[in-house]
Amino acid sequence: MTQTLQERRSPLPSSPDIDLFELYRRMRVLRRMDEVLAELVAERLITGPMHLGIGQEAAGIGATAALRPGDMVTATHRPHAQYVGLGLPLGRTFAEMMGRVDGQCGGRGGHMLIADAEHGLLAPSGIVGHSLLFAVGHGLAQKRAGQGAVTLCVTGDGAVNSGAFNESLNMAALWRLPVVVLVENNGYGLSVRLDRHSHQTELYRRAAGYGIPGEVVDGNDVEAVHQAVSAAVARARDGQGPVLVEALTFRNNGFSSSDRGGYRDPDEGAGVTDPLELAARRLRERGASVEELAEIDRLAAVEIDEAVAFAKASPWPDTEALFEYAAKWDEGARR
Ligand SMILES: Cc1ncc(C[n+]2csc(CCOP(=O)(O)OP(=O)(O)O)c2C)c(N)n1
Ligand SMILES: [Mg+2]
């Protein structure tokens, strides 16, 4: 078992027949990543806002595991599950978050704006709802290319009342684009509770308005998410158009590192299923030993430690080069 886990240390490409062990391993790596990121923010080795996904691991990990190489993902300001799920090299990812030169974007993107075309992650955006606009573009290109590739568009409950959400879903449906929209419904858009910004709180029902299938799934159950998104992806790949999947989950943390709190009941999270505990319990019921699970945890911690060490050793970008780069973009924008 240990041998197998060692082999699994570097993230595998996504595969439709992935097992719960691998899904659990990815969630463990992601949880550890976010825990360590909170420490790096406290140490001011990372500055700027930080959006963690502790408690929401199952949605992003289950969904990305339904993809295959050549597929595309558009993410939000809370994208770490996509980074881990798509198998981004985490040393470079931490370097990016710490503003170092070895980051995927040379340290210019920060934690939420990592683009990594090789791993199927393009056009990140911190603008709420924009992941849908990009997904329509990718989906149209994929449909024209005719290779059967699919775009997974991750968005949050906070985006559902944006114009972009409505316009994109309408176009995706009209053109039968190979797009799967995953709404990570964690009950809050920033500090606003879902029932205060949306009269219809069962978000999957909106699919009916676009004439596409809509499904709701337990977003804390990684296997349930994986299954639902796999079925939606298969349908999209088959040319039958978009599907809206709502994953019900819970945001354990504040909105970001700058959250001042005071807008929710401290007991709200009581009794909410922890996705990692659920998966571990299920693995135990299926015969995994305590030691095997502990080994997954240990290896996840080692993987993150190594990624952080890589990032800390990475140099800062050259200041002159940063100015030159910014000036080049300014010039492009003026043209
Ligand atoms: C168009 C736009 N409006 C407002 C914001 C500020 N903003 C950033 S994230 C966010 C809430 C997003 O909520 P949700 O989509 O549910 O994602 P979550 O933070 O819950 O993961 C808001 C209002 C923004 N980035 N873009
Ligand atoms: Mg939300």
Give pLDDT, residue 11. 41
E strand map for the chain: 72-74, 151-156, 179-185, 188-189, 192-193, 214-218, 243-248
Question: CA torsion 84→86→91→92, rounded to 10°?
Answer: -130
H or E segment and range at residue 4:
helix 2-7
Dist. CA 280–CA 31, nearest whole Å: 14
Q: Whose CA is nearest to atom 22 of ligand 1?
A: 190
* Closest ligand 1 atom, residue 77 Cα: 9
Give pLDDT, residue 317. 94
What pairing do the DSSP bridges indicate for beta strands 151-156 and 214-218?
unpaired
Backbone CA torsion sign across 218, 65, 269, 76? negative
Q: Which of 279, 297, 296, 275 is nearest to 59 (CA)?
A: 275
Q: Is 131 in the pocket of ligand 1 (CB under 6 A)?
A: no
Q: 57-64 and 222-237 are packed helices; what angle lies between their axes, rounded to 10 degrees? A: 40
Choose one of 190, 250, 252, 264 to mutate for the ligand 1 pocket test, by most ligand atoms within 8 angstroms of C-beta: 190
* Closest ligand 1 atom, residue 51 Cα: 19
Query: 140 near 193, Cβ under 8 Å?
Result: no
Query: 228 near 245, Cβ under 8 Å?
Result: yes
Give pLDDT, residue 124. 81
Give pLDDT, residue 17. 56
Q: Is 188 in the pocket of ligand 1 (CB under 6 A)?
A: yes
Q: Whose CA is nearest to atom 25 of ligand 1?
A: 127
Question: CB-side exposure of 156: number of CA atoms within 13 Å?
Answer: 25
Give pLDDT, residue 7. 41
The two three-digit tokens of residue 287, written as one number: 């015969």
H or E segment and range at residue 289:
none
Q: Is 251 in the pocket of ligand 1 (CB under 6 A)?
A: yes
156 CA distance to ligand 2 centroid (A)? 5
Q: Is 159 in the pocket of ligand 1 (CB under 6 A)?
A: yes
Give pLDDT, residue 334. 78
Identify the segments of the chain with pLDDT beneath 70. 1-17
Domains of the chain: 2-258+292-334 (3.40.50.970)
Angle at 277 between CA 255 and CA 73, to 5 degrees: 55
Burial-class residue 262 by CB neighbours within 10 Å (0-12, 13-18, 19+). Answer: exposed
Give pLDDT, residue 331. 85
Dist. CA 178–CA 208, nearest whole Å: 18
Q: Please give the model's pTM, rounded to 2 decimal places.
A: 0.94
Backbone CA torsion sign across 116, 231, 16, 224? positive
Give pLDDT, residue 255. 92
* Closest ligand 1 atom, residue 162 Cα: 1
Q: Is 42 in the pocket of ligand 1 (CB under 6 A)?
A: no
Give the three-state DSSP class for 213.
coil
Give pLDDT, residue 263. 92
